[in-house]
Amino acid sequence: MTLDIDAILTNPDKHIIVCTGSGGVGKTTTAAALGLRAAELGRNVCVLTIDPARRLAQAMGLTELDNTPRAVAGISNGSLSAMMLDMKRTFDEVVESHSDPERAEKILSNPFYQALSSSFAGTQEYMAMEKLGQLRAQSQWDLIIVDTPPSRNALDFLDAPARLGSFLDGRLIRIITAPARGAGRGIGRIAALGFGIFTNVLSKLLGAQVLADVGNFVADIDTTFGGFRERADATYALLKDSGTEFIVVAAPERDALREAAYFVERLNQDSMPLGGLILNRVQEVPETGLTQDQVLAAAQKLTAEGEGQLTSALLELHAQRMEIKERQKHLAMRFTAAHPNVSVQPIPALAQDVHDLAGLREIGEALANQGITW
């Protein structure tokens, strides 16, 4: 089955497209190309990228991408904005908007919070969901395209809210903060005595200051994180809604398609709406009516006769590309045989990297070209 990209992009009931896949398969560029095509088809689009190459910002005519959506000039019909997730700034914004100024200052200046918001496993994925929820709550855009983090397990953002919540609700955290939460009450004083020996051990293992920073952070963010969890649940429900489409991006390579198969199976397991697979950088070869063996034989004949060296080299290059195409076709057919219900759209490899809107537009046109064959 062929993936009908334009049918998705022009459907007014579709409000979120999530591009997922392993790193190095052109996922970010594909997300940007989808955004540009949707905008030029009349949608008001915001593309949320995670770690785009600088040339991608330049391709959109922007000097930089940051945590604020920036409008892309030169778009007809609709509109296109783009932004790059700043996970720490997003975390800070959440704290500031859901705490009074005094509590927010205490949280933001806490060393444990600063480490958590910058490097804790799952924070980037969690904040990608947080930012998606913020963008969807605004009425400025009717389509948001998300480029997921380039993690080996690129669907970690589905688990991030539960992981962060489990950490903050975990037994160790509850033990650390139990005396503080019970302070002033009889049970709190008894608990404090009971935990004294245990916390002394933790102090020796972690350091008294680290222990104090963790306890103070959890005590200060307790009510704020309740809002985190509610919004994460709401965003997770949004991802499962019929207004969302997941697009898996892969290259026609063994490892990339193995990862793509994992993504497809995980999305199906979680009942997420899967639009299909974009198979990027497919080798195209002009049809000559000759087999690879015939092309190689012609090249060898010219070489043996000592003439037509340039023609011989070109024939050998053509044969190599025919071999690549056949290998890619074989891998793609294995994927489609294992996942017959997944729509696939192949995209030919470009001669050069994308460096302007015209390049993104070319990819968008290839995405919509229903006539591409293996």
DSSP for 174-204, please give it: HHHHHHHHHTTSHHHHHHHHHHHHHHHHHHH
Amino acid at 140: Q
Specify the number of domains making up the chain: 2
Residue 40 lies in a domain: yes
Q: Residue 154 in contact with residue 123, Cβ under 8 Å?
A: no
Residue 39 lies in a domain: yes
Identify which has the larger pLDDT, 91 or 180. Answer: 91
The H-assigned helical ranges of 241-308 are 254-269, 292-304
Residue 229 lies in a domain: yes
Residue 191 lies in a domain: no
Q: Residue 246 in contact with residue 274, Cβ under 8 Å?
A: yes
Same domain, 166 and 298: no
Q: Is residue 37 scored above 90 in pLDDT?
A: yes
Residue 212 lies in a domain: no
Same domain, 282 and 355: yes
Other residues' Cβ atoms within 10 Å of the Cβ of residue 12: 10
Of 65-79, 146-160, 263-277, 347-361, give the lowest mean pLDDT range.
146-160
Same domain, 312 and 256: no
- Taking the model in full, what pTM does it have? 0.81
Identify which has the larger pLDDT, 273 or 61. Answer: 273
Residue 201 lies in a domain: no
CATH number of the domain bearing residue 359: 3.40.50.300
Residue 258 contacts by C-beta under 8 Å, 6 or more apart in sequence?
none
Same domain, 119 and 256: yes
CA distance 223 to 312: 73
* H or E stretch covering 94: helix 87-97
Same domain, 298 and 350: no
Same domain, 48 and 123: yes
Enclosing domain of residue 316: 292-323
Same domain, 132 and 64: yes
Same domain, 314 and 359: no
Q: Which two tokens stand for residue 223?
A: 């009510």
pLDDT for 7-31, tens place per residue?
Answer: 999 999 999 999 988 888 888 899 9
CA angle 155/160/165 to nearest 5° reads 160
Same domain, 244 and 314: no
Per-residue pLDDT, 345: 93
Residue 198 lies in a domain: no
Same domain, 246 and 315: no
Q: Residue 97 in contact with residue 131, Cβ under 8 Å?
A: no
Same domain, 266 and 301: no
Per-residue pLDDT, 306: 72
Residue with token string 């990209």: 5
Amino acid at 51: D
Per-residue pLDDT, 285: 81
Give the three-class secondary structure for 79: strand
Residue 219 lies in a domain: no
Mean pLDDT of the chain: 79
Per the DSSP assignment, residues forming a β-bridge with 278 are 249, 345
Q: Residue 133 in contact with residue 234, Cβ under 8 Å?
A: yes
Q: Is residue 247 scored above 80 in pLDDT?
A: yes
Q: Is residue 140 scored above 80 in pLDDT?
A: yes
Per the DSSP assignment, residues forming a β-bridge with 18 are 146, 246
Residue 91 contacts by C-beta under 8 Å, 6 or more apart in sequence?
117, 123, 127, 130
Other residues' Cβ atoms within 10 Å of the Cβ of residue 300: 13
Per the DSSP assignment, residues forming a β-bridge with 274 are 246
What value does the mean pLDDT take over residues 213-235? 66
Same domain, 88 and 102: yes
pLDDT for 168-219, tens place per residue?
Answer: 554 445 554 554 444 444 434 434 434 344 344 444 444 555 556 666 666 6
